[in-house]
Amino acid sequence: MKTEKIFAEVGFGNPRFFSTEIENNSNEKRVKGFIRPKEFRDFYLRICVFKLTLILSTYDIIKIKINKKNKFRFVIGIGGYN
């Protein structure tokens, strides 16, 4: 059962240049460093400018989101499961 999602990211806009987000059911935490997922799902590029977020992914292809807060973010990441 795939319950723990891992998103390892490199880029600007996160608290650290190398960081990993771990989602487990409804809990979410960000840890420093780059933790590679055991089971690969996708590569992605996330660009946030003001309230607009553009995500280019090998899994979802293209996603556009509107955020509540203004931010700037440029992140390349790997998504998967542990």
Query: Which residue range is the domain that position 15 belongs to?
Result: 4-81
Q: What is the mean pLDDT of residues 48-73?
A: 93
Distance CA 58, CA 15 (A): 25
Sign, CA dihedral 53-54-58-59, equals positive
Looking at residue 62, its pLDDT comes to: 95
15: number of Cβ within 10 Å = 7
**pLDDT at 3 exceeding the cut of 80:** no
The count of domains in the chain is: 1
Looking at residue 2, its pLDDT comes to: 63
**pLDDT per residue as tens digits for the range 31-41:** 999 999 999 99
53 within 8 A of 46, measured Cβ to Cβ: yes
- Long-range contacts: 54-61, Cβ < 8 Å, 24+? none
Please give the structure tokens belonging to residue 5: 């999602």
Element (H, E) at 2: none
